[in-house]
Amino acid sequence: MSSPTFSLCIYCGSRPGTDPGFAATARQIGQWIGEHGGQLVYGGGRGGLMGMVADATLAAGGRVVGIIPKALVEKEWAHHGCSELHVVDTMHERKRLMAERADAFLALPGGIGTFEEFFEVWTWRQLGYHDKPVGLLNLNGYYDGLMSFIATAVQSQFMGPWQEKLVRVDPDWRSLVKALVQEAGMAPEAIADAV
């Protein structure tokens, strides 16, 4: 395969969740990445939404870069079918490599690990450590409570509205993924007309 047209880092659950829409959407996003010549960068697991998005990307002809700490190789069942699988020593190294290999970041539904990775990359953007787009997929209202809490933080003046606007939030994965890839400046003509 030639060089990928874009590289999207996805944070998501190592479990499937209770809503079947979460799994279906993870697979659709992976398929979209592969069909559009893209590369998935993710946490390297084969369980839950993580494994689903990776498998779908690979099945559609895309590249998958998995990055997983040694301590989680067994716990998260490392996905040995990745185009590249990097086993690293620490979570800090994992997140650094994921950030370096990505053009944009997207959080799907997930748990505490997803939250932590999403908040860190958002924080890095507001501090100027990177200027890559960050997205939050509010699928079926999963992140409604979080968005309400963030609005409270802005109202309480612990955050500014400009910080809130550093994250693109959308319930529609198609419009969100296309917007992130376009904002990152990757293959804008091809992506603009993509379904």
pLDDT of residue 48: 95
Per DSSP, the three-state class of 152 is helix
In angstroms, the CA 172 to CA 139 distance is 7
Low-confidence ranges of the chain (pLDDT < 50): none
Tens digits of residue pLDDT in 121-144: 999 999 999 999 999 999 999 999
DSSP 8-state class, residue 102: -
In angstroms, the CA 190 to CA 181 distance is 11
In angstroms, the CA 23 to CA 33 distance is 16
